[in-house]
Amino acid sequence: MTEYEKFKQLIDKGSSLYIPQLSLDCVIFGFHQNQLKVLLLKMRTRHDWALPGGFIHQDETLEVAAARVLKERTGLDNIFLRQFHTFSALERSNPQQAMKDFAMEDLRIDQHHWLAQRFISVGFYALVDFTRVTPQLDELSEICTWYDLDSIPPLMLDHRQILDKALETLRVQLNYQPIGMSLMPELFTMPELQKLYETILGTPLDRRNFQRKILGYHILRRREERRTGVAHKAPYLYSFDIKRYQEALQEGLHKW
Amino acid sequence: MTEYEKFKQLIDKGSSLYIPQLSLDCVIFGFHQNQLKVLLLKMRTRHDWALPGGFIHQDETLEVAAARVLKERTGLDNIFLRQFHTFSALERSNPQQAMKDFAMEDLRIDQHHWLAQRFISVGFYALVDFTRVTPQLDELSEICTWYDLDSIPPLMLDHRQILDKALETLRVQLNYQPIGMSLMPELFTMPELQKLYETILGTPLDRRNFQRKILGYHILRRREERRTGVAHKAPYLYSFDIKRYQEALQEGLHKW
DNA sequence: TCAAAAGTGTTGAGAGTACACCCATGA
DNA sequence: TCATGGGTGTACTCTCAACACTTTTGA
């Protein structure tokens, strides 16, 4: 199916395929080169950027729909994904704008079209392994790429607020849930993991205290190997202990 | 407007007044005689009970809609109200059942009617002063009353899960937010407030540690008076320091 | 006068924080 | 050999939990 056909289907059939006036937006976090990043889309018809989002099929739960959106954008399955808030401000929809945004070649929508209605949107955030993602475009977007958290471009509608709320939620969750596994590569060093935490929290942490704390959760396994090629003492490599990690996801973090 | 007319309007006009396939449910907590209570409705057409819920007007935010539902059921304005989760399981809707539930006198709905669709529901929880509430019926319900948390009757659809999730959220929030003000009367004693916390958490707390902790937040003001008429040392009366309380709501609880 | 429940204080364990010392590595 | 950054240990502080003693009240 061509992009045009896909788009035409969205315009024509959307109102019967999807739950009307309800959408979802995903804040997809990745981590690379000591930077926390967010996956953003640039729509063909707009100058500002957007969070990857989508609509909910009549026979899908929100969680399934979010996983589908994620899969479409990143190619990844089985991702850490959490609903965090539902956004319903009246100003968050802009029918006039929508009529422009969803115009393509000979296709036009009017104010009665389903896409020109007010939308309420359920926000999800996801944590993904940056190195395994190949950002993919959809029929409306011309660019799909990562942005550093400290240089986010102007976002459409209330997407900036959604992003901020996601980050706030993530920061709180950090205290209760193990979160590194989906963001880090298979093997990593303690300083690398620390950088992740520091970036999320936006504050520096004490190296030694961080190590003690994380190890106290017993969700890591230290490997024999060390990372070589660095101009100083070679740090140990760690991997997550998947079993323990899953337990901690269920029961929350606590000392042993 | 009679109940019948209200009902007829819901059936006939609902699809243009409200956002389709989206509803909200409120878990309304009250506290009385050392018991945490939840406000429940019994629909005329069903044997099980329901959380007070409603639909969202096209020009309302979720929060405004929830406040409206709350006002309709309790008569109260300006209530502590928090969105906590959006429920979208496929099994949570039951069109067959809906067709029966929304039948009244000569009115009938079929499977294409807006009320017989799948619904996604946004859950809110509210904390209200039990003594100020006069539960009010709507056009579909025959009873509206409080139930003790430990003797909740069978609830319709997934309302039991919604209630459980609300309670779980409330328990977590207890650590971050001051919550007594909306649940307690104007004046109360420390042991009374402690009972509230114990009931929410479902576990006994140490009297002395509790007092120290709560006072440490500086959100209470001790009055000169004591509660008299008790067969033991008369406890002090307290009230909330509204200014401090509001600050704590904004910034979270922390020691001074 | 006595049981019941409130007011107040102390102590110890554990978590979190701050900081010091030594070690390994490539330049 | 030296700057850089990692590995490990210790001491101090603060919070929280456990617990004891005294005071007030109506029965």
Average pLDDT of the segment spanning A207-226 = 94
For chain A, the first-to-last Cα distance in angstroms comes to 54
B59/A88 Cβ within 8 A: no
Give the rounded percent of residues in chain A with a pLDDT score beyond 70. 99
Per-residue pLDDT tens over the stretch B36-90? 999 999 988 889 999 999 999 999 999 999 999 999 999 999 899 999 999 999 9
Fold of B3-173: Nucleoside Triphosphate Pyrophosphohydrolase (3.90.79)
Interface of A with B (CB under 8 A): 19-22, 56, 58-59, 61-63, 83, 85-86, 88-90, 118, 120, 122
Q: What is the pLDDT of residue B88?
A: 98
**Higher pLDDT pick, B98 / A104:** B98
* Gap from B64 CA to chain A (nearest CA, Å): 10
Q: Which of A58, A61, A120 sits opposite B89 (nearest CB)?
A: A61
A83/B85 Cβ within 8 A: yes
A54 contact partners, CB below 8 Å, separation of at least 6: A23, A24, A65, A66, A68, A69, A72
DSSP A128: -
Q: How far apart are CA A135 and CA A116, in angstroms?
A: 27
Judge whether A103 and A79 are in contact, CB under 8 Å.
Answer: no
Q: Which nucleotides in chain C lie closer than 7 A to a protein CB?
A: 3-10, 14-20, 23-27
SS3 assignment, position B169: helix
SS3 assignment, position A103: coil
Per-residue pLDDT tens over the stretch A143-159? 999 999 999 999 999 99
Q: Residue A232, CA: closest nucleotide via C1'? A: C25
Q: How far apart are CA B137 and CA A161, in angstroms?
A: 38
Residues in B closer than 8 angstroms to A90, CB to CB, are 59-61
SS3 assignment, position B32: strand
Per-residue pLDDT tens over the stretch B243-252? 999 999 988 8
Task: Give yes or no for residue A104 having a pLDDT over 80.
Answer: no
Rounded to an integer, what is the distance from CA B235 to the centroid of its chain? Answer: 30
Q: What is the pLDDT of residue A50?
A: 96
Secondary-structure class of domain A188-251 per CATH: mainly alpha
The gap between A252 CA and D14 C1' (Å) is 24
Judge whether A24 and A69 are in contact, CB under 8 Å.
Answer: yes
Per-residue pLDDT tens over the stretch B201-210? 999 999 999 9
A184 contact partners, CB below 8 Å, separation of at least 6: A31, A129, A192, A193, A196, A240
**pLDDT interval class at B107 (50, 70, 90):** confident
A122/B86 Cβ within 8 A: yes
Average pLDDT of the segment spanning B11-38 = 93
Torsion sign across C-alpha atoms B54, B57, B63, B69: negative
Torsion sign across C-alpha atoms B189, B195, B198, B199: negative
Q: What is the pLDDT of residue A71?
A: 96
**What type of residue sits at position B133?**
V
Indicate if CB(A233) is under 7 A from strand D.
yes
Q: How far apart are CA B205 and CA A95, in angstroms?
A: 54
If you write DSSP's letter for every residue of A137-158 in order, what string do you get?
Answer: --TTEEEEEEEEGGGPPPBSTT
**pLDDT interval class at A3 (50, 70, 90):** confident
Per-residue pLDDT tens over the stretch B144-175? 999 999 999 999 999 999 999 999 999 999 98
**What type of residue sits at position A204?**
P
Q: What is the pLDDT of residue A256?
A: 66
Q: What is the pLDDT of residue B45?
A: 83
SS3 assignment, position B105: coil
Give the rounded percent of residues in chain A with a pLDDT score beyond 90. 69
Indicate the average pLDDT of chain A. Answer: 92
Q: Which residues, in sequence order, are bridge partners of residue B148?
A: B37
Q: Residue B235, CA: closest nucleotide via C1'? A: C6
Judge whether A118 and B61 are in contact, CB under 8 Å.
Answer: no
A86/B62 Cβ within 8 A: yes
Judge whether A99 and A111 are in contact, CB under 8 Å.
Answer: yes
Residues in B closer than 8 angstroms to A63, CB to CB, are 88
Do the two domains A3-173 and A188-251 of this chain adopt the same fold? no
Tokens 């106290």, located at residue: A216
Q: What is the pLDDT of residue A95?
A: 83
Residues in B closer than 8 angstroms to A89, CB to CB, are 61
**pLDDT interval class at B9 (50, 70, 90):** confident
Q: How far apart are CA B82 and CA B67, in angstroms?
A: 10
For chain B, the first-to-last Cα distance in angstroms comes to 54
Indicate the average pLDDT of chain B. Answer: 92
**Higher pLDDT pick, B189 / A10:** B189
Locate the chain B residue with the closest alpha carbon to A86: B86
The gap between B233 CA and D24 C1' (Å) is 4
What CA–CA distances, in Å, run from A96 to A111, A113, B182?
8, 11, 42
Give me B124's structure tokens.
Answer: 């809110």
Task: Give yes or no for residue B104 having a pLDDT over 80.
Answer: no
Residues with CB under 7 A from strand C: A 206, 208-209, 212-213, 216, 226, 228-234, 255; B 189-191, 207-209, 211, 230-236
Q: Which nucleotides in chain D lie closer than 7 A to a protein CB?
A: 3-10, 14-20, 23-27
Q: Which of A39-48, A103-112, B153-162 has the highest mean pLDDT?
A: B153-162
Average pLDDT of the segment spanning B238-246 = 95
* Gap from A233 CA to chain B (nearest CA, Å): 41
Q: How far apart are CA B192 and CA B198, in angstroms?
A: 10
Q: Which of B20, B63, B86 sits opposite A62 (nearest CB)?
A: B86
Indicate if CB(A239) is under 7 A from strand D.
no
Average pLDDT of the segment spanning B103-125 = 88
Ranges of each domain in chain A: 3-173, 188-251
CATH of the structural domain B185-251, one choice from 2.40.240.10, 1.10.10.10, 1.10.3720.10, 3.40.50.300: 1.10.10.10
